Amino acid sequence: MPTDPKALAYFAAGIGAGLTIMGGAAGIGRLAAAAMEGIARQPNAAGDIRGAMIVAAGLIEGVTFFSLIVTILLAIK
Amino acid sequence: MILGRLAALAAATEPPAHEAAAHGGAEAAPHAVGPAEVLMHHVVDSRWGDLVIGPLNLGPTKHLFFFGVAAALVILVVRLAMRSYRQGIPSGLGAAVEALIVFVRDDIAEKNIGHDGRKFAPLLLSFFFFILVAALFGLIPMPSYDFKTGHLSLAGVTSTGNIAVTLGLAFISFLAQQWGGISKFGVVHHFLGMVPPGMPKALLPIMIPVELIGMFTKPFALMIRLFANMLAGHMVVTTLLLLIPLMAAISTAFGVLMIPISLALALFIMILEVLVAFIQAYIFTLLTAIFIGMYAHPAH
């Protein structure tokens, strides 16, 4: 069955976006869970933990966006 | 802000009719715009005029114009805040700006760079306020006229949603990171200090390329992160609003039913974008400060 290569690109973009979000969500979810636990155990350190958490979340999010841009390019080009 | 997006959508409601006309054997419509074109029109730069100097075309573009407006707004707001200081105790705007400035100076600059962090505070404050204002600016609908296609639309324009703008910001951040090390140790010791002392000689061929790549990856990640965050927010809002014409193409009733759902989702994302504006300004400033601190205090 002949397939339009564009259809495959859209398919790849959809799958890729889904996989990207799964990875990013798992990473940020684990991070937030650990940070919550840390704050609950040591409420005095809440400020420091929150700062470190935001930095780590930013780094994870940055990597996630790399791959999201690839999927956007797949869907648009 | 919602009305602004809807104005852009007015163009989007046309494609089914145009496509039908094109399929009917008629000449292709001059402005046949599909959802992808509307999405691209919203986030991609468009040229407003030409000013050719040598090989460069320095004419105003959409993002260049709003970049200038955001920068002017930062200067204006800070000048107004300074004025309220001259009368003694700051109030209103002055107090609000002061809270942010003290936060950036104490909790970002001095905490991560050390006691010479105060030297970098003006740069970090410029990053913080420019990124914040540019991102918040994108949530306000602005009339944007495309001279090429003649489409007038009301849309929020975020100049940091252009990779060239974030490249410039990241390049300045890169220079500041290197300056953080060079100003403290001198050029030779700055580059020698990147490789931890006591490293076995055999590892040097691996360590030196790794450190060099790491040097350029840091600003590159800053660039991509800010660009993608600003782009993604606008794309999500536009896509959610594009659901209305897409549904209306199936049946008018679907389109009408979709309006409240679509508007509610778009409004939610827009409120989230206000939060993202602050977080991205904070992260860019904080990571720049951390990287400057890393070069100013290498591993001993």
A65, B279: Cβ pair inside 8 Å? Answer: no
Q: Is residue A5 part of a domain?
A: no
Residue A2 confidence (pLDDT): 67
CB spacing of A65 vs B290 below 8 angstroms = no
Q: Is residue A56 part of a domain?
A: yes
pLDDT value of residue B233 = 85
Cβ <8 Å between B283 and A55: yes
Burial code (b: 16+ CB inside 10 Å, e: under 16) for B95-107 equals eebeebbeebbee
Output DSSP code: residue B201: G
- ipTM > 0.85 (yes/no): no
A65 and B229 within 8 Å at the Cβ level: the answer is yes
Distance of alpha carbon B165 from alpha carbon B226, whole angstroms: 10
pLDDT at B167: 93
DSSP 8-state code for residue B29: P
Q: How many angstroms separate the CA atoms of B105 and B97, rounded?
A: 12
Mean pLDDT for the stretch of residues A34-61: 88
Question: What are residue B152's phi and psi, to 5 degrees?
Answer: -100, 125
At residue B144, φ and ψ (nearest 5 deg) are -130, 115
B204-250 vs B15-23: helix axis angle to the nearest 10? 80
Q: What is the pTM of this model?
A: 0.79
Q: Do B228 and A68 touch (CB under 8 A)?
A: yes
CATH of the domain at A77: 1.20.20.10
Res A71 pLDDT > 50: yes
Single-letter amino acid, residue A3: T
Q: Is residue A59 part of a domain?
A: yes
Residue A39 inside a domain? The answer is yes
pLDDT at B229 (0 to 100) = 87
Tokens 């590159």 belong to residue = B220
B271/B35 Cα distance (integer angstroms): 24
**Strand spans (E) along chain B:** 52-53, 56-57, 142-145, 152-155
A/B interface, count of CB pairs below 8 Å = 36
> Is A23 part of a structural domain of the chain?
no
Q: Which one of A70, A72, A73, A74 makes the best mutation probe of the B interface by having the most chain B beta carbons within 10 Å? A: A72
Range of the domain at A37: 28-77
Q: Tell me what pLDDT residue B127 has.
A: 93
Question: Would residue A64 count as lying in a domain?
Answer: yes
Q: What is the pLDDT of residue B211?
A: 85
Would an 8 Å CB–CB cutoff place A77 in contact with chain B? Answer: no
In the structure encoding, which two tokens stand for residue B139, read together?
């949530």
Distance from first CA to last CA of chain A, Å, rounded? 24
Along chain B (300 residues), what's the average pLDDT of each consecutive run of 10 residues?
44 39 38 68 72 72 85 90 79 85 88 84 92 89 69 76 90 92 83 75 83 88 88 86 86 87 91 90 91 78
A45 part of a folded domain: yes
Residues 262-281 (B) with a CB less than 8 A from some CB of A: 279
Is A13 inside any structural domain?
A: no
Q: Is B109 left (phi over 0), alpha (psi -120 to 50) or beta?
A: alpha
Total count of domains within chain A: 1
Q: Is B76 exposed, middle or buried (0-12, 13-18, 19+ CB in 10 A)?
A: exposed
